[in-house]
Amino acid sequence: MPARLRPSMSIGVGDPARELARMAAEFSVGAIVMGLHSEPERGRRMGSVTYRLLCHAPVLVVAWPPAAPVRVEGGEGRGV
């Protein structure tokens, strides 16, 4: 039998990446789902909050409709 999801809402104040990482740890989340920016002239790209959060929390980055994977270079060891 699948686990039941219980929706909840939390509001954080401050840097979005820091607050999302803090809340992910506090609530023991399995993954944070975030989307890509889609700009017709520049294609799909990852936003700065998503990029910074990748080093500090479990993040699933999605694009719709599905596209080629986004390559992330650098970022290791950078603080949120």
Please give the Cα distance from 70 to 63 (Å, whole number).
10
Please give the Cα distance from 50 to 32 (Å, whole number).
10
User: What is the structure's pLDDT at 75?
Assistant: 54
CB within 8 A of 66, min separation 6: which ones? none
User: What is the structure's pLDDT at 64?
Assistant: 67
Please give the Cα distance from 39 to 26 (Å, whole number).
34
What are the residue ranges in the chain where pLDDT is below 70? 1-2, 38-42, 64-80
Both structure tokens of 80: 């949120």
- pTM for this predicted structure: 0.64
